Structure 1
């Protein structure tokens, strides 16, 4: 299920914070703080999917450039305890793909800008966890409003007090509303809820969703760590393990107490037989399913634009040719769908004859007579369109492979550099063996990713691109030739029909005449 998380924090000089450093770290950039002369270089950090800058309408051009925006934000503050930036950290649903998460990020950012009129830098980060679900965005905002002349007054309504609490509630509700609207737009049933957990738990019980109610009321256990985990596996008792056992027991007692209280107040139906906290946990585990990673491109560093799809047509459940038993109507629909997908990929393709042929079939669909000739023509055009579509997508898919290979290489490179920086060679021999093994694994991973990147780039050279373009031209010409033959055959049938005395001419392309129709009963 989609997880809701939003948090607002501030960066203050009193705590030694710098908006320039925060922006550089979150976007993976090199930024220079002109106030202190410090260089903040985070170009080698991984996990930055995309970073964009947005500002109110009429803002100066430099408000969209991080290297100019954040040094200017620092210079605009002259107190030693000034708040120099404000951050909105928001979870992005893993159910969405990269392009959809980018659209959601922009929607949230624009809502914040419309309300507070500040400039922002939104940096989307990849999960960094094994389950691959912790996508999130850091929306770093200036503390001053942005005007056509530069920075204006401070956004005091966000500083605290009663107005601050109201603004926090508005932000949380807006994030939830926009997240749910984008999930619905993507056809995903999952939803997020910004309300307090106890309120959500009561609603879950009213719906009879005991697994959800338990998940919302439970106290999280403490992380054991690898050393404690190893001790627990050996049967040794640890303080952390004992604490977790106590937490689990308290969770079960609290859940049972919550159910009893809800029943006393008439807010929940009776619990199904045998449905305890343990059963709720089991139900929750069964409800978890595999997650699907989207097909959007991953962009490292500052892109300046939103992540977008590479222009590939949407894949249908099956891309096979129509079965032998398919009707003429189904085959014509298949031809029209394939043609629209090809034109969506490249609307400038010279497909005049194919367009004319498919348009005629669609217009005369109610009068088309099923015949081997018409089926052969339809099948030939459908096959040609699919081959052309495949050729159009070849190079785009290769570029996507390169993007993924570059990301994996940078991650392996960063792991290698981090190991060398943090793990010097130990003095003792027995520790050196372990050090060499760990170093060798990282070096092998780096070599593997380097070779993958070389192979991927080999498929996107100028020669490869020209070869792909030549294949598209060849497929296009072959398809136009097939369509031309079908058009000529239809014209010939019409001409032959006109030569018959007293026989109406046969419309082209499989449209039957009155003479060929069966009489009505």
Structure 2
């Protein structure tokens, strides 16, 4: 699930910081600090997805170039203990794709620039490990406002005190609200909350949601960091690790206390009229404990049991504790509607009108499952066809993305080889000939491997391969407009369309006159 994290920190010359070095590291660039003469080269740094500069509308164009922006920002600060940069770092949901994360980071950066008038550099970083979820963005901002003629006054409202704390709270709320808006636009159910765990738990108690209060009634643990993590991996005990274990123990006690309150409230629950006390207790348990709670390794675990969209009944008519081995017809129908809605524009572009009509009928409830024995198999076939059609649409764009990534990795390997050859043409005083040859061979092997990967990626993205995938997409279209759609149309014809269903059909791009020839499908949009 999406995790909320936001942090604000400053860079100061008094602590030996350099805004040029910070910008080079976060963007993976080579920048030279003209004030000190140092060159900060992080071009071989991996994990930088993208980096861009965001400036006020009336700012000069040179501020869009990182080298010019941070050189001028350093020159504008004259004191030896000046605060030279400010960073806003926050997490990006791993549920979003690259374009959606980029849009989210840009929206937050633009809101900050519009509010404070400074210039900023937004750098998106990928997780450090394969399959990781720690996507995040570093927004490195100048401490001065940027006008048409250069840097102006300091952004004192962010320096601290009551006003600074209020601004930080506004920034945290901005990150949460913008993140939730992008998650909603991506049709994702997850949300983030910038408030403290205690505030969220109090709000849950006020709503009467004791299960959520139990989950939130915990104190946050501290981040271990690389040093403490290394100590813990060796089987030793670090100071931060001991502190986190104490927090986890306190969390377990708080969790048990909330559960005790929940059980006490359940015992005194009034008995509805016409129900026995035992029956009321069973119903309360089923409705309130639909989520199983447990405390494991210092964390409250919420286990959502596998529940059926439509309950299968026992022989005595009850639905309690009946395992669901296969998805119900209603669950399949909802998934078909979701897939169809996600592919709605593409289906319309390829003139798959009967498929659109079938999905529209499912969405409006016009198709009644009990009226057609072939309904489940038709639904399964339509769902499979939609998934294959969606996969075929993105197959070639994924290959183009792989080519761009291979080009970047090959460039990095080439740069590493050129730097080594330029700086170490022969064994130095600190290296033996064997060590020099090993390091040289490692860089040459990496360059050869990246070159082979680039050639392989380019061979999979040729015009011939694009034509093959386009033909495959055409076959997917034909398979999609076959028996499964026809069966659904026959089933839907048995029901009388409601006024709402008829209005729903008007939203879908279906042919208005059956006697007219259908529209010719456009060429697949693979780029």
1:238 offset after TM fit, Å?
9.7
Structure showing greater radius of gyration is 1
The reply to whether residue 341 of structure 1 matches residue 336 of structure 2 is no
Partner of 2:459: 458
The reply to whether residue 213 of structure 1 matches residue 221 of structure 2 is no
Partner of 2:326: none
The answer to whether the 8 Å contact 2:7/2:88 transfers is yes
2-side partners of 1:163 and 1:288: how far apart?
Answer: 47
RMSD: 5.5
2-side partners of 1:152 and 1:6: how far apart?
Answer: 27
Deviations 1:238-293 (A, max 9, x none): 99987776554343224334666899999xx999899876279786274699xxxx
TM-score (norm 1): 0.59
The answer to whether the 8 Å contact 1:59/1:146 transfers is yes
The answer to whether the 8 Å contact 1:256/1:277 transfers is no
Q: Secondary structure at the match of 2:143?
A: strand
1:195 offset after TM fit, Å?
1.1
The answer to whether the 8 Å contact 2:292/2:305 transfers is no
Partner of 2:6: 6
Q: What number of residue pairs does the alignment pair up? A: 385
Deviations 1:161-195 (A, max 9, x none): 11111111111111111111111111111111111
Deviations 1:68-104 (A, max 9, x none): 1110001111111111111101111111111111111
2-side partners of 1:288 and 1:240: how far apart?
Answer: 35
TM-score (norm 2): 0.58
Deviations 1:361-392 (A, max 9, x none): x9xxxxxxxxxxxxxxxxxxxxxxxx999999
Deviations 1:12-65 (A, max 9, x none): 111111111111110001111222222111111011001111111111001111
The answer to whether the 8 Å contact 2:30/2:43 transfers is yes
The answer to whether the 8 Å contact 1:104/1:179 transfers is yes
Aligned pairs for 1:29-48 (under 5 A) are 29-48=29-48
Partner of 2:125: 125
The answer to whether the 8 Å contact 2:292/2:302 transfers is no
Partner of 1:189: 189
Distance 1:447 1:132, change over 3 A: farther
2-side partners of 1:288 and 1:143: how far apart?
Answer: 51
Partner of 1:149: 149
The reply to whether residue 66 of structure 1 matches residue 66 of structure 2 is yes
2-side partners of 1:86 and 1:156: how far apart?
Answer: 12
Aligned pairs for 1:424-439 (under 5 A) are none
The reply to whether residue 402 of structure 1 matches residue 403 of structure 2 is yes
Partner of 2:301: 284
1:197 offset after TM fit, Å?
2.0
Gaps of 5+ in 1: 290-315, 319-329, 343-354, 363-386, 425-431, 480-505, 512-521
1-side partners of 2:169 and 2:243: how far apart?
Answer: 34
2-side partners of 1:404 and 1:34: how far apart?
Answer: 32
Aligned pairs for 1:342-361 (under 5 A) are 342=350
Give the stretch that moved more between structures: 251-260 or 97-106.
Answer: 251-260
Gaps of 5+ in 2: 270-283, 307-333, 358-387, 428-433, 478-512, 519-527
Distance 1:76 1:246, change over 3 A: closer
1-side partners of 2:176 and 2:108: how far apart?
Answer: 10
Distance 1:219 1:510, change over 3 A: closer
Q: Secondary structure at the match of 2:151?
A: strand
